[in-house]
Amino acid sequence: MSTPFVWQGRTDAEEVGDSRRWHHVMRPFDQSAHGGVALIGFAVDEGVRRNGGRVGAAQGPNALRGALANMPVHTEPALWDAGDVTCDGDALEQAQDALAARVASVVAQGCRPIVLGGGHEMAWGTFQGLVRSRPHSDRLLIVNIDAHFDLRMAARANSGTPFRQMAEWCAAQARAFSYRVLGISRFGNTRALFDRAESLGVQFVTDDMLQDATGLHAAQAGLTTALAQCDGVYLTICLDVLPGHVAPGVSAPASLGIPLHIVEAVVDQVLASGKLVGADIAELNPAHDEAGRTARAAARLVTRMARG
């Protein structure tokens, strides 16, 4: 059991008007919580360790909460903190199942979950929680903003396997695997991963195509079609999709990456569909986060998703 985060920060006592910040309005998630957004921390990086990455993302949720604490309140709905899921030793699978249960409980109370990571192995837990909470829906679109496919083959689950696990689960359930990735690096994925993505019907856009408005508009056209055909969207963002100078605090910093404003435009498009059912943001590693730059970028994205 992790120690609950203490929400505290700046108070503009002499200001006139509404000067509230997130730490003023955040409430603990309990039986009375209904509506709004619930944050769930996935304080785990066992999947990163198994995948040979730089560990440290287990401290990501609280670093992100710290960056969120002073965010000004504008159009946010009710904000709830549903605490952290942790990992006992190398028991990653149990932690992922605990995350799934936490996500499902949040949805059951009418709240939208946003999971703070933590390694991208969190995606398997978030996905499982969403499908458990939507047993009669088989048109869930997975939108991943990421430099990597995370479709790896491995004997044990890790931060590189969650979307391959989703594909296998969908096949076993005779459900469509609708997976789109924006930001794929041709220098960060093997030929085997591109081949697997093709065999699974994965739609993707590479990072070099998402550097300006022209590339963004082309990607958004394809996403518009996918959004129209689904009845729910799971949005997942790996912070390693951002340029390394914007997001140094990740397991694998990007040499190119996608500009933050491009990522925000995709997030806005998903939000505008009105179909977002849950989201997460992965791989914040405070141990390598120079001047807290990654946490601040992540806080912008989380706040944007919360405001809708």
For 220-241, write each residue's pLDDT tens digit. Answer: 999 999 999 999 999 999 999 9
Residue 243, φ and ψ in degrees, nearest 5: -55, 145
- Domain locations in the chain? 22-307
- Which residues have CB under 8 Å from 199's CB, separation 6+? none
Question: What is the edge-to-edge ordering of all strands in the sheet holding 276-282?
Answer: 27-28, 79-85, 37-42, 112-117, 276-282, 232-238, 140-145, 178-184, 203-206
Residues facing 204 on adjacent strands: 181
Task: Please report, for residues 129, 217, 251, the alpha-carbon distance to residue 93 in angstroms, rounded to integers and kept in the order given.
Answer: 14, 38, 20
Helix boundaries (H) for the chain: 22-25, 46-50, 60-68, 92-108, 122-133, 162-172, 191-199, 213-229, 260-272, 293-307
For 257-280, write each residue's pLDDT tens digit. Answer: 999 999 999 999 999 999 999 999
* Cβ–Cβ < 8 Å for 263, 242: yes
Residue 1: which pLDDT band, with cuts at 50, 70 and 90? low
Please, is 259 exposed, middle or buried when counting C-beta atoms within 10 Å of its C-beta (0-12, 13-18, 19+)?
middle
Mean pLDDT across the stretch 199-213? 98
Q: What does the mean pLDDT of the chain come to?
A: 97
Mean pLDDT across the stretch 282-295? 97
Mean pLDDT across the stretch 125-137? 93
Q: What percentage of the chain carries pLDDT values higher than 70? A: 100
For 9-37, write each residue's pLDDT tens digit. Answer: 999 999 999 999 999 999 999 999 999 99
Please tell me the predicted confidence (pLDDT) of residue 138.
80
Tokens 């790896």 label which residue? 152
CATH architecture observed for domain 22-307 = 3-Layer(aba) Sandwich (3.40)
pLDDT at 288 over 70: yes
Tokens 């990735």 label which residue? 181
